[in-house]
Amino acid sequence: MMRTTLSVIKADIGSLAGHHTVHPDTMAVANKVLAEAKRTGIIVDYYITHVGDDLELIMTHTRGALDTKVHETAWNAFKEAARIARDLGLYAAGQDLLSDSFSGNVKGLGPGVAEMEFEERQSEPVAIFMADKTEPGAFNLPVYKMFADPFNTAGLVIDPALHGGFKFDVLDVYEGEGVTLNTPDELYDLLALIGTVGRYVIRRVWRRQDDLLASTVSIERLNLIAGKYVGKDDPVLVVRLQHGLPALGEVLEAFSFPHLVAGWMRGSHYGPLMPVSQRDARATRFDGPPRLIGLGFNIKNARLVGPSDLFDDPAFDGARKQAVEITDYMRRHGPFMPHRLEPAEMEYTTLSLVLEKLKDRFKREEDVAKAKQSIYSKESNE
């Protein structure tokens, strides 16, 4: 049986009018590179899209994850697109390409990667979710809901094939160490970790009964790779659907609540994750609000059938309206936490400069009080 690999690789290679949207010419040149890779048989099929300023390459092939040729194809597509971005004077051209040279695969070079290799089921439905102005941990809450919350996913209760539960691989992105937790039995331990979204990130989900790989998330944190602010990580989530896995509708249900995520404006603010159609996949207000698109495909003999634009639907108007209301509410906090991120998570930070400038002016409270005291006693003696 042929094994199929789905590789979603993304990067911000520069954008139009700020961190807003990709330019069609950059997508066109990436398309040329992928068309050539399809012609020469490196990949079987592909689809190119974008969310906000992030260029997304969705590729299918039979070469397994971390394949050098597939990754080199993606890298070349990003390099070419960045070249066009420079020619057009686009903003932050080459933003996520942290290296000039490619060595084996794109990991650690800046692009985000979500890949899964599997044996195609008779019908292989998948959903691909792509977000802008946020970080990989933004998917912790919805992925938890899809695979572990019976109030979201009816199948956990009523479908014997889901009833055995799922395994979550959780990565500590600071230490680079992972742990696997089983649900439902270790639900509370899982939540204790993944509630800290900036550190513990759900990396993969497996079905327990047969170790079927059900979902994967891109976990790159650019700021941790680069050691300085280089843009947000703008993650990707791939979910296999149906037939012993959550149904498409159960997976989409998890995004009906526009939860707060980190990464809005300058990578330094919390805001609601707003599910939008491809048409509305552009960051606008305060460079957001953070946006999510979803595309549904079937995969047949490694060919991509589709997509369907999953949030292009009035059923998500309520979530969008709520996201706009939350936007108004959060924005009124201006530079105050918890709209602004906590200092340790701040990526564009002047805080250290301000502290340096003021360091000689900081005085201990009791010294200030003593100084005041001596002034008063001097005055009263006079």
124 binds, among ligand 13P, Mg ion, none (CB under 5 to 8 A by kind): none
Q: Which of 12, 220, 233, 347 binds Mg ion (CB under 5 A)?
A: 12
Binding mask 234-273 vs Mg ion (x if CB under 5 A, - otherwise)?
Answer: x---------------------------------------
- The alpha carbon of residue 352 and the mean position of all alpha carbons in its chain are separated, in whole angstroms, by 27
Q: Pull the structure tokens for residue 148.
A: 């572990």
Q: Does residue number 56 form part of the binding site for ligand 13P (CB under 6 A)?
A: no
* Catalytic choice (232, 233, 270, 287): 232
Q: Does residue number 19 form part of the binding site for ligand 13P (CB under 6 A)?
A: yes
Strand partners, 178: 171
Q: With b meaning 16 or more CB within 10 Å and e meaning fewer, what string describes 313-333?
A: eeebeebbeebeebbeebbee
User: Shortest distance, CB of residue 118 to ligand 13P, whole angstroms?
Assistant: 9
Q: Pull the structure tokens for residue 21.
A: 């949207």
User: Shortest distance, CB of residue 233 to ligand 13P, whole angstroms?
Assistant: 8
Cα separation, 363 vs 203, in Å, equals: 46
* Catalytic choice (25, 91, 107, 229): 229
- Please indicate whether residue 232 is annotated as part of the active site: yes
Is 166 within 8 Å of 208 (Cβ atoms)?
yes
User: Shortest distance, CB of residue 298 to ligand 13P, whole angstroms?
Assistant: 14
Residues 256-285 that bind ligand 13P (CB under 6 A): 265-267
∠ CA 339-345-351, nearest 5°, is 85
Q: Which of 27, 37, 53, 112 binds Mg ion (CB under 5 A)?
A: 53
Question: Between residues 301 and 373, which has the closer beta carbon with respect to ligand 13P?
Answer: 301
- Please indicate whether residue 144 is annotated as part of the active site: no
Binding mask 115-134 vs ligand 13P (x if CB under 6 A, - otherwise)?
Answer: ------x----------xx-
Q: Does residue number 53 form part of the binding site for ligand 13P (CB under 6 A)?
A: yes
Q: Pull the structure tokens for residue 224.
A: 């941790």
320 binds, among Mg ion, ligand 13P, none (CB under 5 to 8 A by kind): none
161 binds, among Mg ion, ligand 13P, none (CB under 5 to 8 A by kind): ligand 13P
* Catalytic choice (10, 12, 96, 167): 12
Q: Which residues bind Mg ion (CB under 5 A)?
A: 12, 19, 52-54, 92, 132, 234
Q: Which residues bind ligand 13P (CB under 6 A)?
A: 12, 19, 52-53, 95, 121, 132-133, 161, 210, 212, 231-232, 234, 243-245, 265-267, 287
**Active site positions, annotated:** 12, 229, 232
